[in-house]
Chain A
Amino acid sequence: MFVELNNLLNTTPDRAEQGKLTLLCDAKTDGSFLVHHFLSFYLKANCKVCFVALIQSFSHYSIVGQKLGVSLTMARERGQLVFLEGLKSAVDVVFQAQKEPQPLQFLREANAGNLKPLFEFVREALKPVDSGEARWTYPVLLVDDLSVLLSLGMGAVAVLDFIHYCRATVCWELKGNMVVLVHDSGDAEDEENDILLNGLSHQSHLILRAEGLATGFCRDVHGQLRILWRRPSQSTAQRDQSFTYQYKIQDKSVSFFAKGMSPAVL
């Protein structure tokens, strides 16, 4: 959890909003620091987190989580974190025939239809346990990242359906939050990715867009973050708020500053 980003977003783990879909987007740079931020943020907020990690292994997130002050292994052991390690699951699905349907079952099929098994997994992971006491505040679904599903043969519509089902269950029914990461391919003309990104942009309440600098590589400013608050359900009578900051990623934190106000320049 980056304290400066919390200040910019005007939230703290104690009083975060519920029922929101946050879209993380990166263009020409790596936006995974935002995923680490939200993972540690919601674990500190005592939420039940279901993390669908499709692109990196568990130990990667765990080691970075240690730097940010959360222990993923302990969270997993006490049931706060349900971690789907996409890479490991894919290897199991492809090389061994499994009896019960796996979340990534579509890898075995030639014409994958939909992501229903994955949705079932998420719903099972986040359903409230009727043990009487409320251990966790609200459920959160994190997906890193959705563009990988397109690479694995799913169509953009199937992925949008999956997000729609998850939103109905997690955000509306269980009053939880969702955070998803999508890559913006920019000028690579990836139509499916553009459909996915546009569709999600219209549904989300908060869009965080990490972009590389337009002028190229810089040691002191790693990129630019655009924050856009939206109200998808209401009419756009009020203009959506948008802020732009530049950032520099350090070993354990990220520092944000206004455009052109990098400490290296001043």
Chain B
Amino acid sequence: MAAVATCDSVAGSTGSAVATASKRNVTSFQKRGPRASGTNDSGPRLVSIAGTRPSVRNGQLLVSTGLPALDQLLGGGLAVGTVLLIEEDKYNIYSPLLFKYFLAEGIVNGHTLLVASAKEDPANILQELPAPLLDDKCKKEFDEDVYNHKTPESNIKMKIAWRYQLLPKMEQIGPVSSSRFGHYYDASKRMPQELIEASNWHGFFLPEKISSTLKVEPCSLTPGYTKLLQFIQNIIYEEGFDGSNPQKKQRNILRIGIQNLGSPLWGDDICCAENGGNSHSLTKFLYVLRGLLRTSLSACIITMPTHLIQNKAIIARVTNLSDIVVGLESFIGSERETNPLYKDYHGLIHIRQIPRLNNLICDESDVKDLAFKLKRKLFTIERLHLPPDLSDTVSRSSKMDLAESAKRLGPGCGMMAGGKKHLDF
């Protein structure tokens, strides 16, 4: 029941007018699991697509984001039919990495890619994808790289600092050893050319498309967004991701990547003016995109420079219209770069929102203080630790600085007001 319910838990009835709910045997989006009559079929027809797995909580079909550590934090992966919004860091250094990991995962799994950008040609983006670590030999190298700090023996009971016995042993969110769901990538090497050429991808480069004469439907979105929506809808319809071509045997996932959405390069002025004329363009775009995704086998990653958006209300609306929202905050250029608290890390990662799909609850991770670092080969996400205070002069002012920085961390997904005054003790 689990795996099949995944397909229709997201897709439901298909978007096209052809396959209606009455034609139950045409597409694979058939509702099999919870049936009112309660009859038991010979067994659910498992729809197994490469690179996906059903969620353990509700059978939702999940794809990997390209970072197994991030998958674990998001409750197993990115659900098919949803949007992962990445709030870019200030100088846009680390968010393209997450973007590329997502696309690289698609190539390794054989998914179809749709890359949209207003800044870079999608062909160039694909050339810069990181190479996958597929060999076992490479995995051994990677293991040494990851575990180069000593992990405490698990069966030694602590005598002095016995409270720490209760903390989870693996502070670092380690590799998923069991399945080949998520892959590891070497950020220092490029994806082999033959893998890129073997993959099926579509590119949307705004300066090229904006001059071509596509039939423009009257809509109040900015022309760039309108063209992009039409492009996405065309691909979904023509390649049958919404179940409109039932003769296609092999189901596949469409991975959509949109870079720097909302930036002025897309023709949107929310980053320039506080109350521009197009203030609803982006939210309308996200809404229609959500509608397209929910009725197709696709997953989308969007990076957005939210730190540039002048009107804070738009950020709140964008968050409500996206499913998963992850914020990156890099330390470059800020006063935290020299703060000894953060010397091992390159930035903080905030999981701002996780969706509750087909469920009343969601898999929120307990760890709210997360930091990332870009090592020579790998991008890792770890729980943030306060380093021990080993300075000779344990002055009051340095303690206040550390405490002040620590308070600004992880308010968590469900916080009401600034928790500062409630936690002052």
Interface residue B198 (Cβ < 8 Å from any Cβ of A): no
Q: Is the CB of A58 within 8 A of B13?
A: yes
Q: Which of A73-121 contact B (CB under 8 A)?
A: 73-74, 86-88, 90-92, 94-95, 97, 107-112
Residues from chain B with a CB closer than 8 A to the CB of A185 are 313, 316
The answer for the CA separation of A212 and B280 in the assembled complex, in Å, is: 28
Q: CB-defined interface of B326-370 with A at 8 Å, one 1/0 digit per residue? A: 000000000000000000000000000000111111001010100
Q: CB-defined interface of A230-266 with B at 8 Å, one 1/0 digit per residue? A: 0000000000000000000111101000000000000
CB distance from B223 to the nearest CB of A (A): 13
Q: Is the CB of A74 within 8 A of B357?
A: no
Q: Contacting A74 at CB < 8 Å: which of B36, B287, B295, B412?
A: B36
Q: Is the CB of A59 within 8 A of B10?
A: yes
Residues from chain A with a CB closer than 8 A to the CB of B5 are 63
Stretch of B125-133, B161-169, B413-421 on the interface side: B413-421
Interface residue B8 (Cβ < 8 Å from any Cβ of A): yes
Q: How large is the interface on B (under 10, 10 to 19, 20 to 34, 35 or more residues)?
A: 35 or more
The answer for the CA separation of A242 and B207 in the assembled complex, in Å, is: 57
The answer for the CA separation of A224 and B415 in the assembled complex, in Å, is: 11
Q: Is the CB of A63 within 8 A of B34?
A: yes
Q: Is the CB of B359 within 8 A of A27?
A: no
Q: Is the CB of A95 within 8 A of B34?
A: no
Interface residue B96 (Cβ < 8 Å from any Cβ of A): no
Q: Is the CB of B219 within 8 A of A108?
A: yes
Q: CB-defined interface of A143-158 with B at 8 Å, one 1/0 digit per residue? A: 0000110111100000
The answer for the CA separation of A143 and B109 in the assembled complex, in Å, is: 40
The answer for the CA separation of A95 and B230 in the assembled complex, in Å, is: 8
Interface residue B2 (Cβ < 8 Å from any Cβ of A): no
Interface residue B394 (Cβ < 8 Å from any Cβ of A): no
Q: Contacting A217 at CB < 8 Å: which of B34, B36, B316, B364?
A: B364
Q: Is the CB of A219 within 8 A of B366?
A: yes
Q: Is the CB of A87 within 8 A of B290?
A: yes
Q: Is the CB of B284 within 8 A of A64?
A: no
Interface residue A189 (Cβ < 8 Å from any Cβ of B): yes
Interface residue B267 (Cβ < 8 Å from any Cβ of A): no
Evaluate whether A60 and B357 lie within 8 angstroms (CB atoms) in the complex, with A66-B34, A151-B317, A191-B313 already known. yes
Evaluate whether A212 and B415 lie within 8 angstroms (CB atoms) in the complex, with A63-B34, A95-B233 already known. yes
Q: Is the CB of A217 within 8 A of B284?
A: no
Q: Is the CB of B360 within 8 A of A216?
A: no
CB distance from A198 to the nearest CB of B (A): 15
Q: Contacting A71 at CB < 8 Å: which of B11, B36, B229, B292?
A: B36
Interface residue A29 (Cβ < 8 Å from any Cβ of B): yes
Evaluate whether A190 and B317 lie within 8 angstroms (CB atoms) in the complex, with A27-B416, A217-B364 already known. yes
Residues from chain A with a CB closer than 8 A to the CB of B9 are 59-60, 63
Q: CB-defined interface of B203-247 with A at 8 Å, one 1/0 digit per residue? A: 000000000000001111000000001100100000000000000
* Residue of B229, B233, B360 with most partner-chain A CB within 10 A: B360
Stretch of A12-20, A30-38, A41-49, A159-167 on the interface side: A30-38
Binding site for A on B (CB under 8 A): 5, 8-13, 15, 31, 34, 36, 58, 217-220, 229-230, 233, 280, 283-284, 287-288, 290-292, 294-295, 312-313, 315-317, 320-321, 356-361, 364, 366, 368, 410-417, 419, 422-423
Binding site for B on A (CB under 8 A): 27-30, 32-33, 36, 55, 57-60, 63-64, 66-67, 71, 73-74, 86-88, 90-92, 94-95, 97, 107-112, 147-148, 150-153, 183, 185-186, 188-193, 211-219, 222-224, 249-252, 254
27 contacts between A and B (CB under 8 A): A28-B416, A29-B413, A33-B360, A57-B12, A57-B295, A58-B12, A58-B13, A90-B291, A91-B288, A91-B292, A94-B219, A94-B229, A94-B288, A95-B217, A95-B230, A107-B219, A107-B288, A108-B219, A110-B220, A151-B280, A190-B317, A192-B313, A215-B422, A216-B368, A222-B414, A250-B360, A252-B360
